[in-house]
Structure 1
């Protein structure tokens, strides 16, 4: 797939089926995505990959953070894809590179990874929510004190019965407005 085609056709895929990339394939794709801009080559991220029963365990952690009437729904969320890649921001402090720039590097990495997954025929969606900061989820993922969970990249095979809606292109102006 050409780069332009990948950029224009990649969409977040809400419905993901088995299979998902193997661990080896995903690690290879993450290595490739790591060529994204990263000032100082700090690699301010780490990944925790969840499959199978690990998704159920995450569901239990999510359910423990919400009111009783929505616990079943929260517990089922990690089962929406066969693979969840936990995106963990691990900023480096002994550097001149500001934290916001390190966070931008993680975002660039995830964007590149989503494009690479799309190029290989996989579907993905970056999911977040209030539970990313919950103590139960932090403990489940064994986050260190300075780390932040930025959400999960849900990964799997796109469900052909649920095609994403084409996007409208944004408008761009060549004028600079002053404030």
Structure 2
């Protein structure tokens, strides 16, 4: 499979089996993911492997962060969780946002590698990722921020992750603004009769939905 095919086929798996890659398999993929673009080679990231009882401790920390009496069962949804941590390195030319982007790039690269290796992956976050209780559970330093977790497990046999909407490249690939301030966008692609009909139906559906919302707001006023 080519790289572009692997990227196009990647989807998030919200439900996985109890199987998971071994530490040896994971280490190899982490080494490959670490090849992501990294300004000044600061390596402003690290990953934390959570298995077994580690997930239960995380569940307790999430409960503490949310003020719940019962530990959260969310970390038990997969046999392996990989915490993604951004580490701020002192630098006069690489701002923190760029370092955090590197950490995010590593996480995405690793998710692609895991998916291509046959594992089901989903990147989960939550408002509690930046809580003191969850940071303490992961042993984070003052210069570190948690960006969430990759939940990893086996892909259930006979099931699919569901289709993901494709991106229309022409709609998001712009050009530099011209001298008069206008953005030089490419000419819109001409739609076939079938595509035009489908687009009209979608527009009508959106308009109908918007009208219903407006009516509800008016009733509640």
Aligned residues: 176
Unaligned runs of 5+ in 2: 184-221
Segments of structure 1 that go 5 or more residues without pairing to the other structure are none
Q: Secondary structure at the match of 1:64?
A: helix
Query: TM-score of the superposition, structure 1-length normalised?
Result: 0.90
The answer as to 2:147 corresponding to 1:150 is yes
Match of 2:100 among 98, 103, 108: 103
Relative contact order, CA 8 A, sep 6+: which one is greater?
A: 1
* Distance change >3 Å, CA 97–CA 76, structure 1 → 2: same
Larger radius of gyration: 2
- TM-score of the superposition, structure 2-length normalised? 0.74
Shift of 1:168: 2.7
| 1:46 alignment counterpart | 46
Deviation at 1:146, TM superposition (A): 1.3
- Alignment partner, residue 4 of structure 1: 4
Query: Does the C-alpha gap of structure 1 residues 140 and 170 become closer, same or farther in structure 2, counting only changes over 3 Å?
Result: same
Q: CA RMSD in A?
A: 1.8
2:58/2:134 contact within 8 Å kept:
yes
Residue 79 of structure 1 is matched in structure 2 by 76
Preserved CA contact (<8 Å) 1:15 1:162: no
SS of residue in 2 equivalent to 1:60: helix
Change (3 A) 1:145 1:2: same
Deviations 1:16-51 (A, max 9, x none): 112111111111101001111111111101111110
Match of 1:65 in 2: 65
Q: 104, 115, 138: which is aligned to 1:141?
A: 138
1:89 maps onto 2:81 in alignment: no
Structure 1 residues 3 and 64: alpha-carbon distance in aligned structure 2, compared to 1, 3 A threshold: same
Question: SS in structure 1 opposite 2:113?
Answer: helix
